Chain A
Amino acid sequence: MSLTLLNAAVAVFIAICFVGLNAAYLVWCERKGAGFYQRRPGPMENGPWGLLQPPIDGVKLMTKQLLIPGGVDKAIFMVAPVLAMFPALISFVTIPFSKNIVAHPINVGVLMIFAFAALGGMSLLVAGWGSRNKYAMISSVRAVSQTVAYEIPMLITTITIVLVSGSLNLSEIAASQLGGFWKWNIWGFQEAVGYNILMPISFLIIFVCAVAETNRAPFDLGEAESELVAGFHTEYSSMGFGLFFMGEYANIVIGACLVTILFLGGWSSPVPLGFFPFTDHVGWFLLKIYMIIFVFIWIRWTFPRTTIYGLLNLSWKYLIPISLFNLLLTAALLKVF
């Protein structure tokens, strides 16, 4: 084991910095994106292109008073934001950014990400319940049913990838797709398997589920402002609210990382050439995840919010049956070829 205490500490420090910076600047990206789609400039007052807006927001959040409304379940109320942030943070431990940049390549990395995503779902429930607020309560009921509904097709569809690559280790799954964009799982060309026509369907299901799991529009019924004030974080002020926000954006990064690793070849370059800009590199990984995050933002500001019935119907009546058939057919294809 080369992992000494110092290495671990450095890895944790880098992970926290990465998550924090991403959470802060994705908010900026989101606002700029929103501005772009709504034909207005977005944040522009503080610093060039409003780039100083996130640190200023952070200072504002941290210096505000942390209000605890009367009659809330205090212990639960305080724990919920931490519980929202912690699983998102810990999932970064197992995500491979490149061949060498991975804190701890645990054998069951895929499972780990899903396990801690489930823990994040609990935080929404606990936050809504602990706030002693009807809107928050309704929102947490919605959020939990949504998380459960979309976790099932996502897990089932992930099994197809596990079947194809024969591993639950994220590093191995990504490494099996090296060598050109046509080897990425999204196309379904595998040397051992032949052409698997179902992979684009898997990709679509996972992508929709990733959007829904991170409570993004058009699936953001948990915090539907027009009906539920601010959803489960209605009663949170100051850094409690800030932690929920950071947790949300950290989850978006994790969702993008997962899609990239499972389907888009991780850190592999699209063209298998040896010289500098085309070597397999962490830069490709970052480029891919930010492109996916851009699509997330694009979707959020383009599509209107669905209803809760539409949301649950989409999962239980379409995505789950499709993903079950998809799994069956993928297994059959693997057996036949």
Chain B
Amino acid sequence: MDVSQTIYQTPSILSADGLVGLVFLVMVAVTILGAYVASTAERVVRAVSGLVICFVGVAGIYYFLNSPFMSMMQILIYVGAVCVTISFAIMLAAPEEKKKTTPANILSGPLGFIVAALIFGCMTGLALKTEWQSYPKSGSGSVRDIGISLLTTNSMVFELISIILLIAIIGAVVIARDGRSS
């Protein structure tokens, strides 16, 4: 399907499409809000909470894109594992000290803004210029389909994830080997 030739009309807000679009916008707003909180919060726990909100928003977008498995995995792994791990790190770390506020370099603001704008521009350009091909929907999203596609079409991803997990496990064993005595 050629995207550029499809004529998009703004649907009425009360029609099914309009409501679905509204849900999408809400999810995008939640994601951006979470990201904003996560990046600007002064307290670490608030930043983690922002991250949770952001991940839930992203999961909502996945669900909107008709991929409930991805969306649930997003919450299960990112909120249930990553954010909880971060909060464990916070608990194990030394208590928060008074924030040392040194005046930032006068250039850091504008420079950061320029870099962010450049990245945003490049990504937008890429997204608009690429000729997107609609990927065939792989099965109904059942466990069987996911398993088959993980072990055939996407076996590379599967192997890479296995290696990452192996490294993580070995790292954990190495760190924990000394025990509590040290």
Binding site for B on A (CB under 8 A): 5, 73, 75-76, 79, 106-108, 111-112, 114-119, 121-122, 125-126, 129-130, 141, 144-145, 147-148, 151, 162, 166-169
Contacts and interface: CB of A to CB of B under 8 A. Distances in A.
Given A122-B52, A129-B45, A167-B143, A111 B76 contact: yes
Range, interface on chain B? 20 to 34
Contact of A112 (B43, B49, B72): B72
Interface string B39-67: 00001011001001000100100000000
B22 to A, nearest CB: 12
B29 interface: no
B143 A166 contact: yes
A166 B45 CA distance: 39
A121 B43 CA distance: 20
Interface stretch (B5-13, B81-89, B117-125, B158-166): B81-89
B45 A122 contact: no
A108 B67 CA distance: 10
A111 B69 contact: yes
Nearest to A104: B68
A169 B141 CA distance: 11
B69 A79 contact: no
B91 interface: yes
Contact of B75 (A76, A119, A148): A119
Contacts of A115: 59, 72-73, 75-76, 79-80
A106 B143 contact: no
B43 A151 contact: no
B142 interface: yes
B144 interface: yes
B80 A108 contact: no
B168 interface: no
A121 B83 CA distance: 11
Nearest to A147: B84
Contacts of B19: 5
Contacts of A112: 68, 72
A88 B76 CA distance: 15
Given A107-B68, A122-B79, 5 more contacts: A73-B43, A108-B141, A118-B84, A147-B84, A166-B144
Given A73-B45, A126-B45, A119 B69 contact: no
A115 B55 CA distance: 12
Contacts of A168: 69, 142-143
Contact of A118 (B68, B79, B143): B79
A151 B69 contact: no
A73 B80 contact: no
10 contacts: A76-B45, A107-B141, A111-B69, A111-B72, A115-B76, A117-B80, A118-B79, A125-B84, A148-B84, A168-B143
A169 B87 CA distance: 31
B88 A151 contact: no
B73 to A, nearest CB: 7
